Chains A and B, each alone.
Chain A
Protein backbone atom coordinates (compact mmCIF):
# COMPACT_ATOMS: atom_id res chain seq x y z
CA UNK A 1 0.00 0.00 0.00
CA UNK A 2 1.49 3.32 -1.01
CA UNK A 3 0.84 6.73 0.49
CA UNK A 4 -1.46 7.82 -2.34
CA UNK A 5 -3.90 5.03 -1.51
CA UNK A 6 -3.62 5.88 2.17
CA UNK A 7 -4.69 9.46 1.46
CA UNK A 8 -7.50 8.31 -0.82
CA UNK A 9 -8.79 5.84 1.80
CA UNK A 10 -8.63 8.58 4.44
CA UNK A 11 -10.77 10.67 2.09
CA UNK A 12 -13.29 7.82 1.82
CA UNK A 13 -13.33 7.60 5.63
CA UNK A 14 -13.89 11.35 6.01
CA UNK A 15 -16.73 11.21 3.50
CA UNK A 16 -18.47 8.37 5.35
CA UNK A 17 -17.98 9.99 8.78
CA UNK A 18 -19.46 13.21 7.43
CA UNK A 19 -22.43 11.36 5.96
CA UNK A 20 -23.08 9.65 9.31
CA UNK A 21 -22.98 12.98 11.16
CA UNK A 22 -25.21 14.58 8.53
CA UNK A 23 -27.90 11.93 9.10
CA UNK A 24 -27.62 11.57 12.87
CA UNK A 25 -27.36 15.18 14.07
CA UNK A 26 -30.42 17.37 14.02
CA UNK A 27 -28.76 20.72 14.69
CA UNK A 28 -28.31 22.60 11.42
CA UNK A 29 -24.80 23.86 12.26
CA UNK A 30 -23.67 20.26 12.75
CA UNK A 31 -25.27 19.31 9.43
CA UNK A 32 -23.41 22.14 7.67
CA UNK A 33 -20.13 21.08 9.29
CA UNK A 34 -20.84 17.46 8.30
CA UNK A 35 -21.34 18.45 4.66
CA UNK A 36 -18.02 20.30 4.80
CA UNK A 37 -16.27 17.21 6.19
CA UNK A 38 -17.80 15.16 3.37
CA UNK A 39 -16.55 17.71 0.85
CA UNK A 40 -13.05 17.61 2.33
CA UNK A 41 -13.09 13.83 1.93
CA UNK A 42 -14.00 14.16 -1.74
CA UNK A 43 -11.23 16.75 -2.26
CA UNK A 44 -8.71 14.47 -0.56
CA UNK A 45 -9.67 11.56 -2.83
CA UNK A 46 -9.44 13.74 -5.95
CA UNK A 47 -6.08 15.32 -5.07
CA UNK A 48 -4.47 12.05 -4.00
CA UNK A 49 -5.65 10.16 -7.08
CA UNK A 50 -4.18 12.98 -9.19
CA UNK A 51 -0.77 11.95 -7.85
CA UNK A 52 -0.74 8.59 -9.65
CA UNK A 53 1.08 9.94 -12.70
CA UNK A 54 4.30 8.11 -13.60
CA UNK A 55 6.45 11.26 -13.55
CA UNK A 56 7.32 13.51 -10.65
CA UNK A 57 4.65 16.15 -11.24
CA UNK A 58 1.05 15.23 -10.42
CA UNK A 59 -1.89 15.62 -12.79
CA UNK A 60 -2.85 19.32 -12.60
CA UNK A 61 -6.46 18.82 -13.74
CA UNK A 62 -7.84 17.33 -10.48
CA UNK A 63 -5.90 19.96 -8.53
CA UNK A 64 -7.54 22.77 -10.50
CA UNK A 65 -10.94 21.11 -10.03
CA UNK A 66 -10.36 20.92 -6.27
CA UNK A 67 -9.50 24.63 -6.13
CA UNK A 68 -12.77 25.32 -7.93
CA UNK A 69 -14.55 22.95 -5.57
CA UNK A 70 -13.15 24.61 -2.46
CA UNK A 71 -14.38 28.02 -3.57
CA UNK A 72 -17.84 26.64 -4.35
CA UNK A 73 -17.90 24.84 -0.98
CA UNK A 74 -16.95 28.03 0.87
CA UNK A 75 -19.66 30.06 -0.83
CA UNK A 76 -22.27 27.34 -0.33
CA UNK A 77 -21.31 27.14 3.36
CA UNK A 78 -21.69 30.89 3.75
CA UNK A 79 -25.13 30.77 2.17
CA UNK A 80 -26.11 27.79 4.34
CA UNK A 81 -24.99 29.59 7.51
CA UNK A 82 -26.97 32.69 6.53
CA UNK A 83 -30.05 30.48 5.93
CA UNK A 84 -29.49 28.78 9.29
CA UNK A 85 -29.39 32.12 11.10
CA UNK A 86 -32.60 33.05 9.28
CA UNK A 87 -34.30 29.82 10.40
CA UNK A 88 -33.22 30.50 13.96
CA UNK A 89 -34.49 34.06 13.84
CA UNK A 90 -37.90 32.91 12.53
CA UNK A 91 -38.49 29.82 14.68
CA UNK A 92 -36.13 30.14 17.62
CA UNK A 93 -34.68 26.70 16.82
CA UNK A 94 -31.88 25.61 14.54
CA UNK A 95 -33.68 22.48 13.35
CA UNK A 96 -35.40 21.35 10.19
CA UNK A 97 -39.25 21.43 10.29
CA UNK A 98 -39.64 17.67 10.80
CA UNK A 99 -37.21 17.64 13.73
CA UNK A 100 -38.88 20.45 15.65
CA UNK A 101 -40.58 19.77 18.95
CA UNK A 102 -44.24 20.67 18.93
Chain B
Protein backbone atom coordinates (compact mmCIF):
# COMPACT_ATOMS: atom_id res chain seq x y z
CA UNK B 1 0.00 0.00 0.00
CA UNK B 2 1.45 3.35 -0.99
CA UNK B 3 1.64 6.33 1.30
CA UNK B 4 -1.16 8.20 -0.48
CA UNK B 5 -3.43 5.15 -0.23
CA UNK B 6 -2.68 4.98 3.46
CA UNK B 7 -3.45 8.63 4.12
CA UNK B 8 -6.64 8.39 2.05
CA UNK B 9 -7.69 5.36 4.09
CA UNK B 10 -6.97 7.31 7.29
CA UNK B 11 -9.14 10.17 6.01
CA UNK B 12 -12.03 7.80 5.23
CA UNK B 13 -11.61 6.23 8.66
CA UNK B 14 -11.83 9.65 10.32
CA UNK B 15 -14.96 10.56 8.35
CA UNK B 16 -16.67 7.31 9.34
CA UNK B 17 -15.57 7.81 12.95
CA UNK B 18 -16.95 11.35 12.98
CA UNK B 19 -20.29 10.12 11.67
CA UNK B 20 -20.46 7.36 14.27
CA UNK B 21 -19.55 9.78 17.07
CA UNK B 22 -22.12 12.31 15.85
CA UNK B 23 -24.66 9.53 16.11
CA UNK B 24 -23.47 8.79 19.64
CA UNK B 25 -23.63 12.48 20.61
CA UNK B 26 -27.14 12.70 19.15
CA UNK B 27 -28.24 9.67 21.15
CA UNK B 28 -26.76 11.03 24.36
CA UNK B 29 -28.28 14.45 23.74
CA UNK B 30 -31.66 12.81 23.15
CA UNK B 31 -31.28 10.93 26.43
CA UNK B 32 -30.49 14.19 28.26
CA UNK B 33 -33.33 16.10 26.59
CA UNK B 34 -35.90 13.39 27.29
CA UNK B 35 -35.26 13.54 31.04
CA UNK B 36 -38.01 15.20 33.07
CA UNK B 37 -37.52 18.93 33.68
CA UNK B 38 -37.84 18.59 37.40
CA UNK B 39 -36.49 15.72 39.40
CA UNK B 40 -36.33 15.46 43.15
CA UNK B 41 -33.61 12.83 43.14
CA UNK B 42 -32.34 12.09 46.60
CA UNK B 43 -32.36 15.69 47.83
CA UNK B 44 -35.52 15.24 49.91
CA UNK B 45 -34.10 12.22 51.69
CA UNK B 46 -30.87 14.10 52.35
CA UNK B 47 -32.79 17.09 53.72
CA UNK B 48 -34.90 14.84 55.96
CA UNK B 49 -31.78 13.30 57.49
CA UNK B 50 -29.64 16.44 57.79
CA UNK B 51 -30.47 16.66 61.54
CA UNK B 52 -28.61 13.44 62.27
CA UNK B 53 -25.62 14.07 60.01
CA UNK B 54 -23.64 16.30 62.38
CA UNK B 55 -22.92 18.94 59.70
CA UNK B 56 -25.08 21.49 57.91
CA UNK B 57 -23.49 21.37 54.45
CA UNK B 58 -25.46 18.73 52.50
CA UNK B 59 -22.53 17.82 50.23
CA UNK B 60 -20.29 17.13 53.24
CA UNK B 61 -23.10 15.17 54.86
CA UNK B 62 -23.42 12.98 51.77
CA UNK B 63 -19.65 12.58 51.35
CA UNK B 64 -18.70 11.76 54.92
CA UNK B 65 -21.89 10.38 56.41
CA UNK B 66 -24.62 9.07 54.11
CA UNK B 67 -22.23 7.76 51.47
CA UNK B 68 -19.17 7.32 53.67
CA UNK B 69 -18.16 4.15 51.84
CA UNK B 70 -17.56 6.17 48.65
CA UNK B 71 -15.13 8.43 50.40
CA UNK B 72 -13.47 5.57 52.26
CA UNK B 73 -12.82 3.72 49.00
CA UNK B 74 -11.76 6.94 47.31
CA UNK B 75 -9.02 7.38 49.90
CA UNK B 76 -8.00 3.80 49.11
CA UNK B 77 -7.92 4.58 45.37
CA UNK B 78 -5.66 7.57 46.03
CA UNK B 79 -3.30 5.40 48.06
CA UNK B 80 -3.31 2.59 45.46
CA UNK B 81 -2.55 5.09 42.67
CA UNK B 82 0.44 6.34 44.65
CA UNK B 83 1.59 2.75 45.27
CA UNK B 84 1.30 2.14 41.52
CA UNK B 85 3.40 5.20 40.73
CA UNK B 86 5.95 4.25 43.36
CA UNK B 87 6.20 0.69 42.08
CA UNK B 88 7.30 2.02 38.67
CA UNK B 89 10.55 3.44 40.00
CA UNK B 90 12.22 6.20 41.94
CA UNK B 91 11.45 9.86 41.45
CA UNK B 92 13.71 11.53 38.94
CA UNK B 93 16.71 13.13 40.55
CA UNK B 94 16.11 16.84 40.72
CA UNK B 95 18.45 19.16 38.98
CA UNK B 96 19.54 21.38 41.79
CA UNK B 97 19.13 24.55 39.84
CA UNK B 98 18.98 27.79 41.73
CA UNK B 99 15.36 28.91 41.65
CA UNK B 100 14.61 32.46 40.62
CA UNK B 101 14.42 35.02 43.45
CA UNK B 102 10.91 35.94 42.28
CA UNK B 103 9.75 32.34 42.70
CA UNK B 104 11.41 32.11 46.10
CA UNK B 105 9.76 35.25 47.45
CA UNK B 106 6.42 34.19 45.92
CA UNK B 107 6.70 30.84 47.70
CA UNK B 108 7.47 32.65 50.93
CA UNK B 109 4.24 34.63 50.62
CA UNK B 110 1.98 32.00 49.08
CA UNK B 111 2.74 28.89 51.11
CA UNK B 112 1.66 30.31 54.50
CA UNK B 113 -1.47 31.71 52.87
CA UNK B 114 -2.25 28.36 51.23
CA UNK B 115 -1.80 26.57 54.56
CA UNK B 116 -4.18 29.03 56.21
CA UNK B 117 -6.65 28.58 53.36
CA UNK B 118 -6.47 24.79 53.63
CA UNK B 119 -7.28 25.01 57.32
CA UNK B 120 -10.16 27.38 56.62
CA UNK B 121 -11.60 25.16 53.86
CA UNK B 122 -11.39 22.13 56.14
CA UNK B 123 -13.20 23.94 58.95
CA UNK B 124 -15.84 25.64 56.81
CA UNK B 125 -16.70 22.36 55.05
CA UNK B 126 -19.11 21.53 57.88
CA UNK B 127 -21.59 24.22 56.87
CA UNK B 128 -20.52 25.75 53.54
CA UNK B 129 -18.81 24.58 50.35
CA UNK B 130 -15.41 23.23 51.32
CA UNK B 131 -14.14 20.09 52.97
CA UNK B 132 -11.33 17.59 53.01
CA UNK B 133 -10.77 17.32 49.28
CA UNK B 134 -10.71 21.02 48.59
CA UNK B 135 -8.43 21.62 51.58
CA UNK B 136 -6.23 18.69 50.57
CA UNK B 137 -5.76 19.98 47.04
CA UNK B 138 -4.83 23.45 48.35
CA UNK B 139 -2.34 21.75 50.65
CA UNK B 140 -0.97 19.82 47.68
CA UNK B 141 -0.61 23.07 45.73
CA UNK B 142 1.50 24.45 48.57
CA UNK B 143 3.63 21.29 48.54
CA UNK B 144 4.12 21.41 44.76
CA UNK B 145 5.10 25.08 44.97
CA UNK B 146 7.72 24.17 47.57
CA UNK B 147 9.03 21.35 45.36
CA UNK B 148 9.24 23.69 42.37
CA UNK B 149 11.25 26.13 44.45
CA UNK B 150 13.67 23.26 45.24
CA UNK B 151 12.64 23.23 48.88
CA UNK B 152 12.64 19.49 49.45
CA UNK B 153 11.57 18.09 52.80
CA UNK B 154 14.38 17.01 55.13
CA UNK B 155 15.62 13.51 54.39
CA UNK B 156 14.73 12.11 57.82
CA UNK B 157 11.03 12.86 57.13
CA UNK B 158 10.94 10.81 53.91
CA UNK B 159 10.98 7.41 55.59
CA UNK B 160 8.37 6.23 58.04
CA UNK B 161 6.89 9.63 58.82
CA UNK B 162 6.00 10.23 55.16
CA UNK B 163 4.35 6.81 54.88
CA UNK B 164 2.50 7.37 58.12
CA UNK B 165 0.99 10.63 56.82
CA UNK B 166 0.06 8.92 53.53
CA UNK B 167 -2.01 6.22 55.25
CA UNK B 168 -3.32 8.53 57.99
CA UNK B 169 -6.56 9.44 56.19
CA UNK B 170 -7.52 5.89 55.25
CA UNK B 171 -6.33 4.65 58.65
CA UNK B 172 -8.40 7.19 60.59
CA UNK B 173 -11.45 6.40 58.47
CA UNK B 174 -11.11 2.65 59.03
CA UNK B 175 -10.33 3.13 62.74
CA UNK B 176 -13.51 5.17 63.21
CA UNK B 177 -15.50 2.60 61.24
CA UNK B 178 -14.15 -0.36 63.18
CA UNK B 179 -14.61 1.28 66.58
CA UNK B 180 -18.21 2.13 65.65
CA UNK B 181 -18.64 -1.45 64.46
CA UNK B 182 -17.54 -2.79 67.82
CA UNK B 183 -19.56 -0.17 69.75
CA UNK B 184 -22.86 -0.23 67.86
CA UNK B 185 -22.50 -3.09 65.39
CA UNK B 186 -22.74 -0.82 62.33
CA UNK B 187 -19.74 0.13 60.19
CA UNK B 188 -19.50 3.94 59.71
CA UNK B 189 -22.90 4.56 61.31
CA UNK B 190 -22.13 7.65 63.41
CA UNK B 191 -24.20 8.32 66.54
CA UNK B 192 -25.89 11.72 65.89
CA UNK B 193 -24.32 13.41 68.93
CA UNK B 194 -20.78 12.47 67.93
CA UNK B 195 -21.18 12.75 64.15
CA UNK B 196 -19.86 16.31 63.81
CA UNK B 197 -16.70 15.61 65.79
CA UNK B 198 -16.03 12.29 64.02
CA UNK B 199 -16.49 13.87 60.60
CA UNK B 200 -14.07 16.68 61.50
CA UNK B 201 -11.54 14.14 62.78
CA UNK B 202 -11.75 12.03 59.61
CA UNK B 203 -11.63 15.11 57.41
CA UNK B 204 -8.57 16.52 59.17
CA UNK B 205 -6.69 13.24 58.73
CA UNK B 206 -7.90 12.93 55.14
CA UNK B 207 -6.82 16.50 54.31
CA UNK B 208 -3.25 15.79 55.41
CA UNK B 209 -3.15 12.50 53.50
CA UNK B 210 -4.69 13.93 50.33
CA UNK B 211 -2.32 16.91 50.30
CA UNK B 212 0.80 14.82 50.81
CA UNK B 213 -0.38 12.08 48.40
CA UNK B 214 -1.06 14.55 45.58
CA UNK B 215 2.29 16.27 46.11
CA UNK B 216 4.00 12.86 46.10
CA UNK B 217 2.14 11.90 42.90
CA UNK B 218 3.53 15.11 41.36
CA UNK B 219 7.07 13.80 41.85
CA UNK B 220 6.16 10.79 39.69
CA UNK B 221 8.14 8.17 41.57
CA UNK B 222 9.20 6.66 44.85
CA UNK B 223 10.98 8.92 47.32
CA UNK B 224 14.03 7.11 48.61
CA UNK B 225 15.43 8.58 51.83
CA UNK B 226 18.96 7.62 50.78
CA UNK B 227 18.73 8.95 47.23
Contacts and interface: CB of A to CB of B under 8 A. Distances in A.
Given A13-B25, A61-B46, A67 B58 contact: no
Nearest to A83: B88
A16 B89 CA distance: 35
A54 B37 CA distance: 9
A49 to B, nearest CB: 7
B8 to A, nearest CB: 16
Interface string B184-227: 00000000000000000000000000100110011011000000
A8 interface: yes
B214 A5 contact: no
Interface residues of A, number: 43
What's the dominant secondary structure at chain A's contact region? helix
Given A62-B41, A86-B89, A72 B17 contact: no
A72 B214 CA distance: 11
B21 interface: yes
B179 to A, nearest CB: 24
B168 interface: no
B59 interface: yes
A5 B70 contact: no
Interface string B10-31: 0000100110011011001100
Contacts of A54: 38, 40
A47 B82 CA distance: 28
What's the dominant secondary structure at chain B's contact region? helix
Interface in A51-81: 52-55, 57-65, 67-68, 70-72, 74-76, 78-79, 81
A33 interface: no
B12 to A, nearest CB: 13
Nearest to B129: A63
B67 interface: yes
B18 A67 contact: no
A29 interface: no
Given A52-B37, A59-B46, A61-B67, 7 more contacts: A9-B32, A16-B22, A24-B14, A63-B62, A64-B67, A82-B84, A86-B89
12 contacts: A16-B21, A16-B25, A24-B14, A24-B17, A53-B43, A59-B46, A60-B61, A63-B59, A71-B77, A72-B77, A78-B214, A79-B85
The 7 tightest CB contacts between A and B, nearest first, are: A75-B81, A60-B58, A64-B62, A78-B217, A59-B41, A16-B25, A59-B43
